[in-house]
Structure 1
Amino acid sequence: MPSERTSERTSERTSERTSRTIEERLRAIEDRLDILNLIASHPPSADSGADYFTRQVYTDDGVIDLGGGKAASGNDEVAAMVKTPGHQAAIAGGLAHFCGLPRIDIDGDAATVTSYLQIITPHPNAEPHEVPNHGTTRGFRIHRVGANRWELVRTASGWKIKRRTLRPLDGTEPARELLRGALKSYEKVG
């Protein structure tokens, strides 16, 4: 049985849907799809060193904050991160960024996206394991899991990243705070 709060949220969404025009609803769907494609393109760009992609999808004054003092600002500086010797060595070692399904909140020409990110690498010291019809491998290991907050703005050329904040899910508060931010609309008001 749905809770009273769930029923209220469902009623609010139904009312919002019926009060918007078809054009407004279509634009909202297109915005979500554009944002999904933008966020889904991050792993292949990071794992292939596609600095040209990163340069195009960050605003000129875009910021990436990876925590621990590791940050870059300006789309050129952010893009250069995938060309560093360390990142190139990680790519050569089989680095794989794996994102969870993002939560997207759009407010006019701004959007906030919250997602999980796993860094997966080949496990070079594990015993080989065969999976029928899929070959033999030493497997992979999850190197790190983090919480992402992407702050986007709509520009003349589409949605762009204004700021990305990433915090490790290591039991500390900063990552949980990022994740709680995705649920603000569910907080009981009053």
Structure 2
Amino acid sequence: MIEAELKARVHNPEYVMGQLDRITEGRAEVYQDTYYDDPSGRLGAQDQELRVRTIHGPDSTRSLLTYKSARIDAESGSKPEHETRVDDAEAVHAMLRGLGYVTAISFRKHCRNYEFRSHGRSLLATLVQVPEIEGTFLEVETMVSKEKELSSALDDVRSVMGELGIHADDFTTVLYTDAVAARLAPDTGQPDSPER
């Protein structure tokens, strides 16, 4: 599957949340994301991602193992994605470390997720805040099975984001991993300021 996703900086989070709340009920979740690489950084150098995500919701916790290969669309950063739910995240972390992978970066995303249908597609819209990064972001994604479907899916995602008040100059392809890494203190590996 290919994740057709666009991301934008949100200048008026209350407005966007209000628009989404009119469509469907949102759910607040906290993602604990840990990205792995081999010691040489090969995966990152090849634009690949290997991630364990644990999602803490109000009523449950679940974990996912995700591999993303290199992006196939430079404008959006969309990538083929393979993901599976795991019952024991700690066991998966141990397996990856045992296979020689090391933690490339780990951080939390505070999310409000909205699942709905529009333009004939199942969509997930997520308002995101990351403690190390200033501001709020909106991600809207849908999944497609073939690369030739990606352009049309991204057009639909872009249209939905426009309906939510996102403008052309709001879009960004900056990765959270890169933005968080840029905020880490070079000597200590700790954030410049404590998480709140």
TM-score by length of 1: 0.29
Higher relative contact order, chain-length normalized (CA < 8 Å, sep 6+): 2
Instruction: Select the structure that is richer in helix.
Output: 1
